[in-house]
């Protein structure tokens, strides 16, 4: 049985998928994951999840983000004065970054 393993580096951080382990049950999966995925990198917490319990939808089944042009949703589509509040500037940077990465995907 395969258990997917998610590692959290620091309290409050996300548990990020880092691999899997073969184990007959949860207890053994936890023990193995501690060694296999928590030994060499800073680790605060580990989740083990039976692979069969994970629901997946992929690009073939769903058009993620829709198919029509919705660039109006992006702050970067608008001209700004350059003197906006720092929150707006930050948000704009985040969106520009997200857009860029969306293009790469």
Judged by CB under 8 A, the stretch of 6-14, 26-34, 67-75, 88-96 that binds other proteins is 26-34
How far apart CA 70 and CA 38 sit, in angstroms, is: 42
Query: φ and ψ at 6, to 5 degrees?
Result: -125, 125
Q: How far is the CB of 31 from other proteins (least distance, A)?
A: 6
How far apart CA 2 and CA 74 sit, in angstroms, is: 40
Contacts of residue 88, defined as CB under 8 A and 6 or more positions apart, other chains included, come to 75, 80
Q: How far is the CB of 3 from other proteins (least distance, A)?
A: 10
Q: What angle do CA 53, 55, 56 make, to 5 degrees?
A: 140
Which one of 6, 15, 18, 34 is in contact with other proteins (CB under 8 A)? 34
Using CB under 8 A, count the residues that bind other proteins.
Answer: 12
Examine residue 23 and tell whether it contacts other proteins (CB under 8 A). Answer: yes
Examine residue 21 and tell whether it contacts other proteins (CB under 8 A). Answer: yes
Examine residue 2 and tell whether it contacts other proteins (CB under 8 A). Answer: no
Secondary structure of residue 40 in the 3-state scheme: coil
Residue ranges that bind other proteins, judged by CB under 8 A: 21-24, 27-28, 31-32, 34-36, 39
């Amino acid at each position: 049985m395969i258990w997917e393993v998610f590692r959290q580096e620091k309290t409050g951080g996300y548990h990020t998928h880092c691999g899997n382990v073969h184990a007959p049950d949860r207890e053994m999966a936890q023990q193995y994951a501690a060694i296999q995925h928590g030994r060499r990198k800073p680790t605060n917490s580990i989740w083990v999840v039976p692979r069969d319990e994970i629901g997946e939808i992929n690009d073939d089944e769903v058009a993620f983000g829709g198919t029509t042009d919705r660039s109006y949703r992006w702050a970067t589509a608008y001209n700004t004065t350059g003197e906006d509040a720092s929150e707006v500037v930050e948000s704009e940077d985040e969106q520009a970054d997200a857009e860029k990465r969306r293009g790469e995907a």
